[in-house]
């Protein structure tokens, strides 16, 4: 009778098996990454989440039944192998496993829709269609280990600095900023929308006296453009802090970015290597460039842009060529920024808004906010929006709203800068773009 599965317990992950364990009996579990049958000897590369371990089966040394079963294995099947660790300088990790028992836990169909050994390059669409297989590639799962490390680092950093994690609704009645970037949904007998930003809620938390809050959650943007930097659902790392200025929260953002990069370089050495990424800890303070200087600079590079216009893609690209690494753009025109952004006291045509850029990529937008009710009503109207539809939000400003500032950092865009990837789709497990709603 077959031993029950419960008696087959994994003793080690591949990464834990090392030459010091010479002679030890172990049990590993995973997928058959590769099978090489040389007649008298069979090599099976077993892959688990952490890497590879080589199973070496010389026909003369092992049970003939076991040898036959190894020979019958198919790629990407799930197996458990018991065996003896043997030092082997040529094998991955300097060890191989001489098998004493094998259990086939699940056979994989053949042929595979794509090759997890990365020998054959697949197009992004093929990869996303069979994402579960694509994610078995060590260099692809590495992206998500880096993302997980980054998000953990961000949480620890914000918690240490006194920020409270909050969860705000993603089913909302009206737009954050007006505009067309909203996904309408049916909410019983009414129309509602998927939240495009926690902006109005995190500001409301300032009036609620929470002082410093953060949220890491999905935002939904019904943007139709098909670029390498936009998706329709992304994770936004948002913060808001009372009695803080734009300068204060830029300082928080800069420190958070440096901390996350430090943690990724320290904890994801293997993953960065798999991605061929030489991640450097940036120097602080990040350079700050005034919007007007940005316009002059891009114009000097042949991009025609007037003062007061938003940066075009060509302008971002020109900036990417002029700048190395992370930098802030400050002094944005009040006109092109959302209503909740505070205008400069002396030069009201300029605002307290900033963007954090990495070369040609915007990764965060933030600002000191308007906290005076009357100013806010005025600004909502001047944007062509109806203050009545912001009634509940506006009420929070009538009964003691402190001055405050905050930012939203795109987790995927930030991850692109950590991994060196240039297609945002690669940094999301199951990306949502204009054409893709499955898997
Ligand atoms: P862009 O101008 O690049 O489209 P945005 O200015 O519209 O971005 P914000 O509303 O400022 O974006 O959102 C704050 C941050 O959230 C951005 O800096 C970015 O990192 C991220 N973000 C926003 N929209 C998207 C999107 N569609 N895809 C990926 N990331 C996004
Ligand atoms: Mg922005």
Instruction: Return the residue whose CA atom lies nearest to atom 4 of ligand 1.
Output: 230
| Closest ligand to the CA of 237 | 1
Ligand 1 pocket mutation pick from 221, 231, 238, 407 by most atoms within 8 angstroms of CB: 221
- Ligand 1 binding pocket includes 419 (Cβ within 6 Å): no
The burial of 391, by beta-carbon neighbours within 10 Å (0-12 exposed, 13-18 middle, 19 or more buried), is given as exposed
Nearest ligand 1 atom to alpha carbon 230: 28
Atom of ligand 1 nearest to the CA of 410: 20
* Ligand 1 pocket, mutate which of 195, 362, 367, 432 (most atoms under 8 A from CB): 362
221 lines ligand 1 (CB under 6 A): yes
All structural domains of the chain, each given as residue ranges with its CATH number in brackets, are 14-106 (2.40.50.140), 134-427 (3.30.930.10)
Number of helical (H) and strand (E) elements in the chain, helices listed first: 12, 16
DSSP label of 275? T
Quick check: CB of 231 below 6 Å from ligand 1? yes
- Report whether 126 contacts 113 (CB < 8 A): yes
Please, what is the Cα angle at 216 between 278 and 411, to 5 degrees?
Answer: 30
Residue 115: which of 92, 140, 96 has the closest Cα? 140
Question: Kind and range of the H or E element at 18?
Answer: none
Query: Which CA distances in Å does 261 have to 99, 256, 319, 329, 411?
Result: 41, 9, 22, 21, 13
Angle between helices 313-322 and 291-300 (to 10 degrees): 90
Q: Reduce the secondary structure of 286-300 to three states and give it as a string.
A: CEEEEHHHHHHHHHH
Using a 10 angstrom Cβ sphere, with 0-12 exposed, 13-18 middle and 19 or more buried, the burial of residue 178 is middle
57: how many CB neighbours lie within 10 A of its CB? Answer: 25
Which ligand is in closest contact with the Cα of 356?
1
**What does pTM read for this prediction?**
0.95
Sheet holding 190-194, edge to edge: 171-172, 190-194, 184-187
Biggest alpha carbon–alpha carbon distance for the chain: 87
- 3 state SS of 266: helix
26 CA to centre of ligand 1 in angstroms: 49
| Per-residue pLDDT of the chain in tens (439 residues, 90 and over written 9) | 567 777 899 999 999 999 999 999 999 999 999 999 999 999 999 999 989 999 999 999 999 999 999 999 999 999 999 999 999 999 988 999 999 999 999 999 999 999 999 888 899 999 999 999 999 999 999 999 999 999 999 999 999 999 999 999 999 987 666 667 899 999 999 999 999 999 999 999 999 999 999 999 999 999 988 999 999 999 999 999 999 999 999 999 999 999 999 999 999 999 999 999 999 999 999 999 999 999 999 999 999 999 999 999 999 999 999 999 999 999 999 999 999 999 999 999 999 999 999 999 999 999 999 999 999 999 999 999 999 989 999 999 999 999 999 999 999 999 999 999 999 999 999 999 999 999 9
Evaluate: CB of 235 within 6 angstroms of ligand 1. Answer: no
CB 127 within 8 A of CB 114: yes
CB atoms within 10 A of CB 56: 19
């Amino acid at each position: 009778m077959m031993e029950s599965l419960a008696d087959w317990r994994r003793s080690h992950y591949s990464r834990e098996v090392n030459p010091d364990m010479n002679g030890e009996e172990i049990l590993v579990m995973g997928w058959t990454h590769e099978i090489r049958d040389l007649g008298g000897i069979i090599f099976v590369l077993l892959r688990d989440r952490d890497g590879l371990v080589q199973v070496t089966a010389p026909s003369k040394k092992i049970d003939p039944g076991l040898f036959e079963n190894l020979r019958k294995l198919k790629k990407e099947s799930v197996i458990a192998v018991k065996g003896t660790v043997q030092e082997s300088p040529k094998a991955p990790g300097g060890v191989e496993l001489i098998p004493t028992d094998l259990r086939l836990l699940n056979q994989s169909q053949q042929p595979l829709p794509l090759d997890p050994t990365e020998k054959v390059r697949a197009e992004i669409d093929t990869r996303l269609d069979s994402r579960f297989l694509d994610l078995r590639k060590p260099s692809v799962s590495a992206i998500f280990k880096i993302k997980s490390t980054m998000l953990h680092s961000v949480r620890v950093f914000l918690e240490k600095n006194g920020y409270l994690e909050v969860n705000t609704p993603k089913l909302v009645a009206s737009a954050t900023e007006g505009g067309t970037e909203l996904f309408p949904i049916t909410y019983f007998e009414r129309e509602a929308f998927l939240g495009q930003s926690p902006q109005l809620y995190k500001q409301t938390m300032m009036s609620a006296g929470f002082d410093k809050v953060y949220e890491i959650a999905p935002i939904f943007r019904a943007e139709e453009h098909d670029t390498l930097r936009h998706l329709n659902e992304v994770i936004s790392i948002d913060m808001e802090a009372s009695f803080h200025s734009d300068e204060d929260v830029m300082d928080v953002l800069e420190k958070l970015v440096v901390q996350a990069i430090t943690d990724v370089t320290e904890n994801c050495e293997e993953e960065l290597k798999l991605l061929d990424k030489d991640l450097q800890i940036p120097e602080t303070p990040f350079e700050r460039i005034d919007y007007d200087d940005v316009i002059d600079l891009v114009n000097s590079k042949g991009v025609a842009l007037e003062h007061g216009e938003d940066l075009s893609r060509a302008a971002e690209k020109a900036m990417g060529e002029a700048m190395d690494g992370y930098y802030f753009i400050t002094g944005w025109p009040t006109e092109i920024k959302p209503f909740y952004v505070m205008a400069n006291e002396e030069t009201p045509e300029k605002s307290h808004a900033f963007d954090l850029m990495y070369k040609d990529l915007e990764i965060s937008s933030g600002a000191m906010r308007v906290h005076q009710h009357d100013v806010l009503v005025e600004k909502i109207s001047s944007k062509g929006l109806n203050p009545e539809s912001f009634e509940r939000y506006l009420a929070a400003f009538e009964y003691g709203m402190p001055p405050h500032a905050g930012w939203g950092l795109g987790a995927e865009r930030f991850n692109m800068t950590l991994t060196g990837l240039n297609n945002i789709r690669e940094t999301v497990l199951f990306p949502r773009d204009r054409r893709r709603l499955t898997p």
